[in-house]
Amino acid sequence: MNAQNVQKYALVTGASRGIGKAVALRLSEMGYALLINYKANEAAALETLRMIEAHGGTACLLPFDVAGKDHVRKALDQWHEEHPGAVIEVLVNNAGNRRDALMAFMEDEQWSSVLGSSLEGMYHVTRHVLKNMLLNRYGRIINMASLSGLKGLPGQVNYSAAKAGMIGATKALAQEVARRNITVNAVAPGFIRTDMTGDLNETELKAQIPANRFGTAEEVADLVAFLASSKAGYITGQVIGINGGLYT
Ligand code: NAP
């Protein structure tokens, strides 16, 4: 953390399950108070909260749909009113969903849902949180992209576009805010074992992966934790792959 003896917060979007949950737990171990965002699954979010508190950490639930500009503004404004002077030092834009379809058969809703939860969600939440980071002259922003956003995957035109958009935004924003000690990086996981990949056949797909397995949410969380640490202050505008050697 940046300063001693002051309660600093980390906001992780989509922290009720999967990678976001593992990231929230790791950031809590680093001493951050956690804002656990999720969209709908309150039971899962409460389990993240319980696990953080069981390890002596502090957290609260902050549900909102990242794709909804007004939801984001209302929830974060209200939180700031209730916590005057509180500082969100780390933002992990992790919320995302997959709605795969071949382009020829893609429904508008499949396109907008995926762009909304990843790319637009990143925009809405970051714009809100960034102002205080600029005032505080310190911040860490980590955007959860994907191997799909680097190489493009058939059946994922929506998802590849959303994640590639996040990568472009990461590189641009990093240059805007570097002078204020704010780093902005993207993490690009390959196949990670979570609910999102629950419908995939790991036994078949792992043959393509040099490490011969899917990754774990905890492995991604360790990478995010390093990027969120003060030790990573000279790393910005980067896209860090975590994919078991799967060639992009
Ligand atoms: P997951 O297990 O399906 O969890 C998704 C999380 O995002 C849940 O907490 C969900 O909340 C939340 N969420 C989804 N849409 C949201 C919205 N509009 N507003 C707020 N929260 C929302 O997914 P995951 O595998 O952990 O993936 C996390 C991130 O990593 C995603 O951005 C994904 O694209 C990326 N990623 C994953 C993999 C992989 O192999 N798993 C690979 C590359 C990139 P609820 O619980 O309320 O639904």
Q: Which tens digits make up the pLDDT trace of 85-110?
A: 899 999 999 999 999 999 999 999 99
Task: Identify the residues whose C-beta falls under 6 Å from ligand 1.
Answer: 13-14, 16-20, 37-41, 44, 65-67, 94-97, 117-118, 121, 144, 146, 189, 191-192, 194-197
Note the pLDDT tens digit of each residue in 144-167.
Answer: 999 999 999 999 999 999 999 999
The strand pairing partners of 185, in sequence order, are 142
Cα of 198 from ligand 1 centre, angstroms: 12
Of the candidates 38, 222, 39, the residue with the CA atom closest to the CA atom of residue 142? 222
Cα of 143 from ligand 1 centre, angstroms: 12
What residues have CB less than 8 Å from 174, skipping those under 6 apart?
183, 184, 185, 236, 237, 238
Euclidean distance between CA atoms 41 and 123, whole angstroms: 22
Atom of ligand 1 nearest to the CA of 195: 2
Euclidean distance between CA atoms 211 and 133, whole angstroms: 38
**Contact between 227 and 240 (Cβ < 8 Å):** yes
Cα of 220 from ligand 1 centre, angstroms: 13
Above 70 in pLDDT, residue 1? Answer: no
CA quadruple 146, 218, 66, 180: dihedral positive or negative? negative
More confident residue, 78 or 4: 78
Identify the band that residue 5 occupies on the pLDDT scale cut at 50, 70 and 90: low
Euclidean distance between CA atoms 246 and 208, whole angstroms: 7
Q: Please, what is the average pLDDT of the chain?
A: 96
User: Could you tell me the two tokens for 170?
Assistant: 């990461």
9 is catalytic: no
Identify the band that residue 247 occupies on the pLDDT scale cut at 50, 70 and 90: confident
Atom of ligand 1 nearest to the CA of 163: 34
Return the pLDDT at 4.
52
Euclidean distance between CA atoms 119 and 176, whole angstroms: 18
**Contact between 103 and 21 (Cβ < 8 Å):** no
If one counts every other C-beta atom within 10 angstroms of the C-beta of residue 156, the result is 21
Cα of 209 from ligand 1 centre, angstroms: 22
Give pTM, 2 decimals.
0.98
